[in-house]
Structure 1
């Protein structure tokens, strides 16, 4: 039996997975925060149902197992009662998850700086004050980015999503990428070719829909449609958890850091990335299969 790493923070606890009986046809979406988790979950929900109007209700029907805000016995009971194909979400790196031989793990990544700046917006939109020391609203001294670079991959730091946590996710996923049931996707590739993402994922999951149905599913999962219907597609949308459901889908763009970091900050980021990743791995983690910033 493989020993799993412990990831325990104020928001998440990966030991909660011990209560889940994983099934061979389960689909588990595994990502660092703000890397396209909700987008990928929505694509999975649409492929499962074949219905562009399906009520996704991700927080209930495709739960974030790690999060400590819901009682785990209730989550486990709800999952056990499901008679249709299931999907779940995790922000725990793959080395902290139970690895089933046949359940499919969909790992999604995004340029670390884009994920970081998206997370800055996100913490201002949720009622969780324990992030305030890492993400102060008035940050003239650049505390937030320093902690992004200096933070560790586990514990409180892990829940605050520093660069080390993103790198741990990537290293743990690539270590298992030769398995047929572990697949890596990139936010930039999803943005460039959403229809291709649907095709690839459908093939991996053994799902088939007529072309005209698939076209409607792709249109449903566009950023503009999901933002316009944010109460439907945001996690816990319409329930008042976030200050603004629409702000959850703030822009969906890349290059959010351009012009917002000093040369010194960018050099410090480059040094860490180059120390941990080969040029090929760094190019993929930042820009996906294209391997470089779009012109």
Structure 2
């Protein structure tokens, strides 16, 4: 059946099993109440599979198990660098800085996903990710959106966490979720895609502030982000942990790259330094988006590097909504961390 084929195909890809095994698993999950058959009322011939509440809990546990298994099974090397950030808070920026320092050239030999693979991206089979990292001869930079509390923190490995004002991170997530390739006009010419109106963005942001999703179920929720940064903040005195703030990268990129290089034991300054810093600038990354961060045919690479500015999330909210955000944040993170997160 078509509905079973789609779900089975996903299981086959993630688990690395045969079509028959995947189909049998889907059938069993339907029989035992973990999956539900959803009939389209407008066309009863169209049936798709949805998770029941029971199935959602199991899927979350399975996803968490598979993700954690990758960290337990991965073979670290001394000198590895793990970039651990919530989505849209400076992940690619920090990856770029690390790669530039390691390779010492602004002319990168490959796109960022190849130079700095995402270890626990469940859309990519584990063996492929492991093989890509094992094949790298240079010092490795490993990407993840998983908090430090949920990964294996190996000795002689540097763990870098980038923080950003949560409201700016959230509004970037809002726009990223709507990042699809620009529509085509007559003759296939690309037409500019208008940004969502401010009312839609504000409504989404207000709902995001109220979202009580668990950090495991939704790491990009406010609780998920605050847990990620709170955990890193509690480790800020560890020699293997290094924290950066998005605002500091914006204000003094050269100084922050120098700080990074010093911590990693990599020399900075001198001939060619200005070119490396320029290559790490938000403007240069945006201009080179097709080369640095190819997202596939259905996404707009340049829009991935949308603006890189600050304050847009705060500016959208009313005084009452902003007060509500601060009350929620205060219940989720310690005061000293919030002072640091919110600094401009």
Question: Does the alignment pair 1:38 with 2:100?
Answer: no
Which has the higher relative contact order, 1 or 2, with Cα contacts under 8 A spaced 6 or more apart? 1
| 2:173 paired residue number | 119
| 2:211 paired residue number | 150
Query: How far did residue 151 of structure 1 move?
Result: 3.0
Q: Deviations over 1:233-287 (max 9, x none)?
A: 22x35x42x5211101111100012431223321211102222334332110122
| 1:223 paired residue number | 282
Question: Does the alignment pair 1:268 with 2:324?
Answer: yes
Question: Does the alignment pair 1:95 with 2:156?
Answer: no
Unaligned runs of 5+ in 1: 1-5, 128-134, 288-292
CA contact (8 A) 1:7 1:13 kept: no
Aligned length in residues: 269
Normalized per residue, the structure richer in helix is 2
| 1:244 paired residue number | 300
Partner SS for 2:271: helix
Q: 1:151 to 1:224 in 2, by over 3 A?
A: same
Question: Does the alignment pair 1:27 with 2:86?
Answer: no
Of the candidates 108, 112, 116, which is equivalent to residue 162 of structure 2? 108
Alignment of 1:1-295 (within 5 A): 13-125=67-179, 139=200, 142=203, 144-158=205-219, 161-234=220-293, 236-237=294-295, 239-240=296-297, 242-287=298-343, 293=344
| 2:36 paired residue number | none
Larger Rg computed on CA atoms:
2
Q: 1:109 to 1:230 in 2, by over 3 A?
A: same
| 1:131 paired residue number | none
Matched residues in 1 for 2:257 and 2:300: separation? Answer: 28
Q: 1:144 to 1:198 in 2, by over 3 A?
A: closer
CA contact (8 A) 1:32 1:91 kept: yes
Matched residues in 2 for 1:154 and 1:117: separation? Answer: 18
Query: How far did residue 84 of structure 1 move?
Result: 1.9
CA contact (8 A) 2:168 2:314 kept: no
CA contact (8 A) 2:171 2:201 kept: no
Partner SS for 1:157: coil
Unaligned runs of 5+ in 2: 1-59, 182-195
Q: 1:140 to 1:32 in 2, by over 3 A?
A: closer
Matched residues in 1 for 2:256 and 2:115: separation? Answer: 22
Matched residues in 2 for 1:162 and 1:141: separation? Answer: 16
CA contact (8 A) 1:109 1:186 kept: yes
TM-score (normalizing by structure 2): 0.72
Q: Which runs of 4+ in 1 moved over 6 A?
A: none
Matched residues in 1 for 2:315 and 2:249: separation? Answer: 25
Matched residues in 2 for 1:138 and 1:265: separation? Answer: 14
TM-score (normalizing by structure 1): 0.83
Q: 1:265 to 1:70 in 2, by over 3 A?
A: same
